[in-house]
């Protein structure tokens, strides 16, 4: 994307969310079907803010969706009432999802960023 | 009027397609975006949004990016309310002249203005007051984090007594902020607004119910949303929901609504009331209150909260 300088911007500068007209309102189109423009922050990456990352364990999840509602960064992917996973491009690693997870042991846990997800799943703690 | 979105439980709610995008630059664990998501997901109607200068505005529209999948405008610090009021007046005029674009047919767009507590309690107050006097069909949401967080934590008139901020620092001679917080909910109710409510993001069901009620109400609606700020309240980012729970259960932020300026209803009564001391202890900005010379402030605070809760209950009983 070509960035304009601060003095090249037009008055009333507009940032477009989508590249083309959408037939429906965005509330009726799931993110994977949206024609995102390069100027949408969906295309940006904040994964490098993380020190710890949440790892998701499908076997323990009860699909309560607490993590979905309380995620500040829209990084919990839920489709058809099921939790699918974590969007690591937009997750800043705040850890709220882990705190609100009600299962025992938790189905989301924070691990060091460099740890492999499969390895993390193998090290999952037992029920207390 | 189009039909209100049905949200029975969280599973059903989670099928919503978010109109607020990630990779905004809000701090990790910021409650602002939790509140915004809950509001935007409460309806499927088109939304026309505005934001005052503040954390939400600077972090969601960082050139060259936008985080909003709906019409969104920012003008100045004080006038998110008037910007959206103007848009709403335009919509009404076009509707009257039957000149609305095809995309608006059969839909009822929702007009929502966002502002921080600085933009609501201090800088934008007379603009909001004007909008409420004129009776625009809009909703104003105050994201109340009790401090000017965007510029580095200066006190606002929402900052409570005893909080340490950069312009009211606690130290040898001072215990921090000395003035009490404005009761903005009652102030806005006194405008005769048809619907005014206080909400908290951790009580999502209560919040979504109030937002939908606000959308269904014709006229200016005011929502005061408690927004725990991990940076300025000084707690760990993963504790946002826990601190919000403490604030609501200790009744520092009681959840209630006022209809037509008078009818007050308490919408959430904590099963176990938590002492204010626990709420204060969870945050770094009140650390100094636990020194022996300032402990009396905690007792005063507890009394203030108890009195206010008593007052709300009396008003609810009397129905005025």
What mean pLDDT is predicted for residues B143-163?
95
- Do residues A95 and A76 both lie within one domain? yes
Beta carbons of A80 and B15 less than 8 Å apart = yes
- Do residues A65 and A113 both lie within one domain? yes
What is the model's pLDDT at position A3? Answer: 78
Spatial separation of the C-alpha atoms in residues B242 and B279, rounded to whole Å = 10
The domains located in chain B, with CATH, are: 10-318 (3.40.50.970)
Q: Which one of A15, A41, A99 has the shortest CB-CB distance to B242?
A: A99
Higher-scoring residue by pLDDT: A117, A11: A117
- Do residues A56 and A99 both lie within one domain? yes
Give B2's pLDDT tier (boundaries 50, 70, 90): low
- Do residues A39 and A53 both lie within one domain? no
Count of structural domains within chain A:
2
* Domain that residue A84 falls in: 46-122
Q: Which CATH number goes with the domain that contains A56?
A: 3.30.70.20
What is the model's pLDDT at position B1? Answer: 47
- Do residues A38 and A85 both lie within one domain? no
pLDDT at A85 over 60: yes
- Do residues A51 and A108 both lie within one domain? yes
Among the ranges given (A61-70, B55-64, B96-105, B139-148), the one the predictor scored with the smallest mean pLDDT: B96-105
Spatial separation of the C-alpha atoms in residues B196 and B139, rounded to whole Å = 10
Contact with chain B for residue A61, Cβ under 8 A = no
Q: Which one of B16, B67, B238 has the shortest CB-CB distance to A95?
A: B238
Spatial separation of the C-alpha atoms in residues B210 and B204, rounded to whole Å = 10
pLDDT at B61 over 80: yes
- Do residues A7 and A35 both lie within one domain? yes
Contact with chain B for residue A117, Cβ under 8 A = no
Spatial separation of the C-alpha atoms in residues B297 and B160, rounded to whole Å = 11
CA dihedral B117, A69, A107, B248 (to 10 degrees): 50
DSSP secondary-structure letter at B116?
A: E
- Do residues A40 and A62 both lie within one domain? no
- Do residues A76 and A108 both lie within one domain? yes
What is the model's pLDDT at position B69? Answer: 94
- Do residues A35 and A76 both lie within one domain? no
Q: What is the pLDDT of residues B251-297, one digit of tens each?
A: 999 999 999 999 999 999 999 999 999 999 999 999 999 999 999 99
What is the model's pLDDT at position B285? Answer: 96
- Do residues A57 and A88 both lie within one domain? yes
Contact with chain B for residue A103, Cβ under 8 A = no
What is the model's pLDDT at position A23? Answer: 80
Among the ranges given (B134-138, B207-211, B316-320), the one the predictor scored with the smallest mean pLDDT: B316-320
pLDDT at A4 over 80: no
- Do residues A51 and A114 both lie within one domain? yes
What mean pLDDT is predicted for residues A32-37?
93
DSSP string, A5-66: PTTTPPTT----SBSS--SS-GGGS-GGGS-B-TTBGGGS--GGG-SEEEEE-TTT-----H
Q: Which pair of tokens denotes residue A70?
A: 């309380």
User: Which residues in B lie closer than 8 A to residue A1 (C-beta atoms)?
Assistant: 64
User: Which residues in A lie closer than 8 A to residue B30 (C-beta atoms)?
Assistant: 72
CA distance A43 to chain B (A): 8
Residue with tokens 């994964």: A47
Contact with chain B for residue A34, Cβ under 8 A = yes
List alpha helices for B169-291, DSSP H.
184-189, 204-216, 240-249, 276-281
- Around Cβ B37, how many Cβ atoms within 10 Å? 23
What is the model's pLDDT at position B152? Answer: 92
């Amino acid at each position: 994307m070509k960035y304009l300088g601060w003095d090249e911007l037009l008055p009333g500068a507009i940032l477009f969310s989508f590249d083309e007209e959408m037939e429906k309102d965005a509330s009726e189109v799931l993110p994977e079907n949206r024609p995102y423009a390069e100027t949408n922050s969906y295309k940006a990456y904040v994964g490098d803010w993380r020190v710890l990352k949440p790892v998701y364990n499908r076997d323990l999840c009860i699909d309560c969706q607490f993590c979905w509602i309380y995620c500040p960064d829209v990084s919990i992917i839920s489709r058809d009432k099921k939790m699918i996973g974590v969007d690591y491009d937009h997750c800043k690693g705040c850890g709220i999802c882990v705190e609100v997870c009600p299962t025992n042991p938790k189905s989301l846990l924070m691990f060091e960023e460099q740890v492999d997800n499969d390895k993390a799943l193998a090290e999952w703690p037992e029920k207390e | 009027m189009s039909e209100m979105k049905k949200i029975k439980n969280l599973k059903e709610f989670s099928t919503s397609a978010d109109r607020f995008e990630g990779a905004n630059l809000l701090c990790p664990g910021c409650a602002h975006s939790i509140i915004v998501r809950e509001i935007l997901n409460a309806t499927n109607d088109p939304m026309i949004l505005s934001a005052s200068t503040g954390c939400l505005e600077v972090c969601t529209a960082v050139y060259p990016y936008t985080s909003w999948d709906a019409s969104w405008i920012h003008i100045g610090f004080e006038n998110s309310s008037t910007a959206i009021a103007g848009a709403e007046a335009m919509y009404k005029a076009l509707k009257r002249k039957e000149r609305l674009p095809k995309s608006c047919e059969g839909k009822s767009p929702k007009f929502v203005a966002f502002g921080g507590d600085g933009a609501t309690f201090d800088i934008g107050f007379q603009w909001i007051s004007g909008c409420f006097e004129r009776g625009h069909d809009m909703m104003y949401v105050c994201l109340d984090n009790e401090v000017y967080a965007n510029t580095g934590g200066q006190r606002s008139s929402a900052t409570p007594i005893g909080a340490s901020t950069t312009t009211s620092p606690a130290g040898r001679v001072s215990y921090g902020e000395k003035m009490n917080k404005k009761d903005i909910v009652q102030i806005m109710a006194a405008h005769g607004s048809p619907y005014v409510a206080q909400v908290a993001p951790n009580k999502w069901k209560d919040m979504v119910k109030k937002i939908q009620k606000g959308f269904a109400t014709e006229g200016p609606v005011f929502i005061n949303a408690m927004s725990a700020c991990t940076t300025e309240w000084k707690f760990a980012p993963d504790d946002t929901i826990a601190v919000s729970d403490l604030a609501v259960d200790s009744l520092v932020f009681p959840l209630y609504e006022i209809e037509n300026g008078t009818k007050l209803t308490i919408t959430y009564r904590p099963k176990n009331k938590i002492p204010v001391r626990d709420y204060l202890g969870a945050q770094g900005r009140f650390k100094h209150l636990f020194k022996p010379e300032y402990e009396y402030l905690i007792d005063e605070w507890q009394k203030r909260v108890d009195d206010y809760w008593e007052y709300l209950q009396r008003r609810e009983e009397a129905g005025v």
